[in-house]
Each structure stands twice: as C-alpha cells, then as structure tokens.
Amino acid sequence: MSLIGKKGPRSQTCLAVIGLAVGMAVSTTALASSALGQTGGASSPSVLLVGTFHGVKGGYTTIQSAVDAARPGDFILVAPGDYRETADEQSLPASYTEGGFGGVLITTPGITLRGMSRSGVIVDGTKPGYHACSSKAAAQNYGPTAPGGKSPLGRNGIVVYKANNVTIDNLTVCNFLNGAGYAGNEIWWNGGANSDKVGEKGYWGSYLTATSTFYRTESTAAAYGIFSSNAAGPGGWDHIYASNFNDSGMYVGACRQLCDVTISHAWMEYNALGYSGTNSGGTIVVEHSQFDHNKDGFDTNTQIYGDPPAPQNGACLGGKISPITHTHSCWVFEHNYVHNNNNPNVPQAGEASNGPTGTGMTISGGRNDTVMNNVFANNGAWGILFIPYPGGTVYEYHQSCKKTGGIVLPPPFGCTYDPMSDALLHNTFRHNGYFHNPSNSDFGQITLGAHQPQNCFRRNKYPDGSAPSNLEKTQRICGKLTRVARNGGPLFGQVLCDTGYLPCPKGSHYPKFIHVVMHALPKLPSMPNPCAGVPANAWCPGGKPLPPEHRGDRGPERSGSALAQPPAMAQSPAGVQANNSTWRPWLSAARSRRVS
C-alpha cells in the first residue's frame, strides 16, 4: 500500500445458499407491503427501496437513509440515478481517524446494498449541479475539514466500517478524491485503517465499477478503486473494474494470513498499479482476470511501514495444504491475462509511483506465493519480477525487521524483504522485454540475502528468456535454502533505474512520464438479475426486475448522465475484443497443464 499523505496504506457458493434461504424465509405478507419500499416482518429480512424504478417509487430518496434504517440481513435496492451522498459532510464520525467516513457509511453488519443497474446507479463524489462524474475542476468536492485541521480530509465513496458480512453489488462509484485524511477510496471494506488489527470479517462485492474523471495533483487524486484493509474473509469480488487511480485499482492488505478472499473476473487498467496488496496472505486467489495498460500490472509486497504487520506470507493458515497448488502455498494467481502494462502517464503517488514501468507483475518481498497457468504478453520491461522490497528505516508498531524476515541494509534501502519460497509454474509468456535494455525478459529474480528459502521456476514457456538466464535450471525446487545472494547481475541496476531508486545505467531507456491521461469507462456488463436472492418486493415481482413497460414516464432512466451515452473514448480499448479471442486459447493450453 502506498503512503500518500498520512496513509499507512470466497465464497460465492455460500452466498447463493444464503440467498436461497432468505428467499424461502420471506412470508407472503411481505408482498402486500412491498409498495411502501420496505418488506419483511420482525424476524425476516426487509427490502428497502431507494429512488424510483420503472415508475414505482421506493420509500427512500438517499442511499444513506436506507442504510441507517437497515437491520442485519436486510437488502437495499437502489434505482438508477446519480446519488450525491454526503454522510461525511453531515456529521464527521470519530472514526474518521481510521478512514471511517464516506459519502455512504455502513456500520450495520450483514446487509446487502445492490444497484438495479451497474452503469445506471452512480454514487458520485462531485457537487450537485454538474453532470454525473464531472471532470470539471469546479465540480470536485474535497470534503470536510477535521477539527483543528487546515486542509480538507478528502472523501471516500462507500465505506463499510468494522461491519461484518456486508455485500455491495451492481453499481458505479466515481470521483471521491484524496486529501489530508484516509481518503480517495471509492469502495472500501475498512476494518480500521493502519490499526495493526483485523476489525472486520466477511465481505463480498460483484459487478462493481470504480473510476475517477478528474486529476489536478497527486495529493488530491483518487487513490484506490475497490479496497479492503484490516478485513478478514471469507470474502469475494467478482466482475469488478477500476481505472485512473494513483495507487491501485484494487487492494487487499493488512489482513495477516486471514485474508481468505477470491477475486474473479476483475479488469484493472490505467492505474499506477492494477492490484496492490501489502502484508496480505494466507488464502488469496486471483483468477480469470485481466490487468492491462497500468504502469505495473500487479504488485504484492511486504512492508514494515504501512498496513502492518509484516510480512506478506501466502502460506496456508495452520500449516494446511492448498487444494489448488497441493502445496503449503494458498496465495494463488492463476488463469489471468496480464498484458500491455507499459503506461507511465497514469496518476501515481507514493510507493506506487516506484512500480517498474513495463512490468506485468511484481512480487516484492512476498513469500509462499504461487503464480501459475497465466498469460503474460506485451510487457516491455519484464513479464514478472521477483524482487526485494526496500522498506526504509521507520518501523511501525515496534516491529522488528529481522523477526519479520527482513534484512537491514544501508540507506536508501533500510529494512529490506527478499522474495522467498515463491513459485512460477506453467505460465505462457509472449513478447515481453521488448524495451531491450539489459536483463529485460519474460521473468527475473533478485535476492539480496543468503540462507533463505529459494523461489522455484518450472515448465514456463518463455521465448524472451529470464534474468538470470538459467533460473529454470538452477531453481527448480521451492524452499531449498540458498547459500549466497543472487542479485541478478545487470537486472539489479535496471530495476533500480526503472523504479527510480537510483540513476539509470548509460544507454538505458524506459517510457518517461509526460502528463496524466484519464480514460473514460468501457461498456461493462451489469448483474444479470439484480433481484436474485432478494425477498419479493415491488421492484422484483416473481424474482425478476419489474419490466420497463411498467415505467410511468417512459423516459430515459438517467437523463443528462455523463455515463448514459459514453463518448467514443469510452468504448473498449482498441484490440481488447480481438485480444480476448486470442488469449483464451493460451489460457486453455495453460489450464491443461498440471502443476508438478
């Protein structure tokens, strides 16, 4: 997790069973009262309706008012509209010091917040009077100022603060910007930011879009799209998208080895980092996802300052064996497409700005992580790097560098964590390293300490080589103790150059930052049936959405919305449709290979 200002920073089957049980539990009397916008009796879940859907008015006009009225187990359905929610401006809670504030603040456990249309339900951080998600400077809202403070805190979009088992589905959040506090996060499951504690358990999200259209400076740029910190599983994100963030599109961190989350069908593009994950371990599965046009596509790291405690450890909790890898590694990155991450002209701040441009994936000081059966293509510097993370000289919460697995090096490196016992297996690489600097290749490794469990590399297809060139021959077995440091030869200087830690060797060339370019949203699929699993109500007769012919005004659902008719720029990026048809066979071939 990058340090911006003061920042220190699975279970779909289960959901389906819960949804079915909820539907069966609803009494027939709920139907009679559904038109009032709230269904359910004293012991059954209620459905709270926000806005007007196809001419049927709900009982609430703001999302926050429905959230405040909801009880554990309730559903909140939101009709299409541009919602300028301002719970953070009405009253700033004491929890703001841990990021516990947002336009929508959820503190009730076990509720489900769901939009009736992914692109049509917009939780918007801009001021009233402007079109949805406006990019105009005058439209931006930087939030309240903390007591005794001089600068605005910034704003968060939807924050689930220390509330277990909350689900958010099928909506878009935009333009909640950073400031002097823990802010700039669009959708955040927050168990207590930078508290060294896990304060939340269970979280789910699907068909979620997070973006920003505005950029002026890094200090106020939107930081994270879809975000979980200090939160334990079980959890799951499915069909999520994020773009234009100066740290990462999505983030999972500060959850020790309790993360227990599966991320599927994610698409992260035009961010400093597509994914970031500090000190997050145990069971994390990232699968069937796409990372493209970021500065660095995917980065997980160990860090002694920010989102404690260190380290990032992908070993299965309690010494168990993963049913996926059949090893002790439960952190798995599989069946993903990582391509074209060569973009220096994205918002970027803090540690995220040091992500190596042109790199598909970076494991920085991570341990016991498995990367298998993926496709890495068209990343100009490296397809994937296993490198140390230099953590500096400030140790948070009295952590010991050595006791958390680090080695102490002279400045500017400080407490440095090597990657160890990680596995790169059965991946397909294509056209990486085309910047043609020394060591640019399909994959590379640097370790600065000796007598550590080594990483392993087996059965990858890597036509553009590795750095060092013999990794698949000399490091086939994971966990074997090394005898000496392995600094990668010329790779060491090139990584320091590309990350900006030290001057570049003569003749080196990597894409340089010119100016930030913000990108509009592509067309994204909505939840097939937003009424699935929801008790019967006025908007969901027979378990399906009320048909459009019942709409009273017959007019457009989102007149005047900037997202209603995207400009040409908002269409799917050139080549993505074609790429999808070409990379699927690579993944099919990768899936047919077994781990060994």
pLDDT in the model for residue 277: 97
- Which one-letter DSSP state was computed for residue 481? B
pLDDT in the model for residue 487: 92
Q: Is the dihedral of CA 307, 311, 314, 318 positive or negative?
A: negative
| 284-343: pLDDT as tens digits | 999 999 999 999 999 999 999 889 999 999 999 999 999 999 999 999 999 999 999 999
Q: Would the pLDDT of 571 be above 70?
A: no
pLDDT in the model for residue 584: 37
pLDDT band at 38 (very low <50, low <70, confident <90, very high): low
Question: What mean pLDDT do residues 395-423 have?
Answer: 93
pLDDT in the model for residue 501: 86
pLDDT in the model for residue 548: 87
Closest CA to 25 of 46, 8, 2, 6: 46
Distance, CA of 585 to CA of 329 (rounded, Å): 27
- Domain range annotation of the chain: 1-244+523-565, 281-517+578-596
- Which one-letter DSSP state was computed for residue 408? E
pLDDT band at 114 (very low <50, low <70, confident <90, very high): very high
Residue of higher predicted confidence among 111 and 556? 111
Q: Would the pLDDT of 573 be above 60?
A: no
Closest CA to 175 of 118, 119, 215, 147: 215
pLDDT in the model for residue 570: 33
**Alpha carbon 132 to its chain's center:** 23
pLDDT in the model for residue 507: 94
pLDDT band at 391 (very low <50, low <70, confident <90, very high): confident
Question: What mean pLDDT do residues 66-78 have?
Answer: 98
pLDDT band at 94 (very low <50, low <70, confident <90, very high): confident
Q: List Cβ neighbours of 271 (8 Å cut-off, separation of 6 or more).
A: 225, 242, 243, 244, 245, 246, 247, 248, 249, 294, 295, 346, 347
pLDDT in the model for residue 194: 86
Q: Which amino acid is located at 275 in the chain?
A: Y
| 337-382: pLDDT as tens digits | 999 999 999 999 988 888 999 999 999 999 999 999 999 999 999 9
| 253-291: pLDDT as tens digits | 999 999 999 999 999 999 999 999 999 999 999 999 999
pLDDT in the model for residue 561: 35
| 471-496: pLDDT as tens digits | 999 999 999 999 999 999 999 999 99
Distance, CA of 322 to CA of 289 (rounded, Å): 20
Distance, CA of 306 to CA of 6 (rounded, Å): 10
pLDDT in the model for residue 13: 34
| 531-567: pLDDT as tens digits | 999 999 999 999 999 998 765 433 333 323 334 333 3
Q: What is the pTM of this model?
A: 0.88
Closest CA to 439 of 381, 487, 358: 381
Residue of higher predicted confidence among 25 and 90? 90
Give me 391's structure tokens. 């953590």
Terminal Cα-to-Cα distance of the chain (whole angstroms): 33
Give me 403's structure tokens. 């006791």
Distance, CA of 101 to CA of 525 (rounded, Å): 29
pLDDT in the model for residue 41: 54
Distance, CA of 317 to CA of 567 (rounded, Å): 48
Distance, CA of 132 to CA of 496 (rounded, Å): 41
Q: Answer for the pair 445, 415: CB distance below 8 angstroms, yes or no.
A: no
- What are the start-end ranges of the E strands in 60-110? 75-78, 81-83, 104-106
pLDDT in the model for residue 461: 98
Distance, CA of 205 to CA of 191 (rounded, Å): 16
Question: What mean pLDDT do residues 133-152 have?
Answer: 94
pLDDT in the model for residue 497: 96
Q: Would the pLDDT of 575 be above 50?
A: no
Question: How deeply is 343 buried, as exposed, middle or buried, from its count of CB atoms within 10 A (0-12, 13-18, 19+)?
Answer: buried
pLDDT in the model for residue 169: 98
Helix (H, G, I), strand (E, B) or coil at 9: coil
Helix (H, G, I), strand (E, B) or coil at 541: helix
- Which one-letter DSSP state was computed for residue 142? -
| 444-480: pLDDT as tens digits | 999 999 999 999 999 999 999 999 999 999 999 999 9
Q: Would the pLDDT of 509 be above 90?
A: yes
Q: Would the pLDDT of 577 be above 80?
A: no
Q: Is the dihedral of CA 228, 276, 393, 398 positive or negative?
A: positive
Residue of higher predicted confidence among 567 and 198? 198
pLDDT in the model for residue 257: 97
474 C-beta neighbours (distance < 10 Å), count: 12
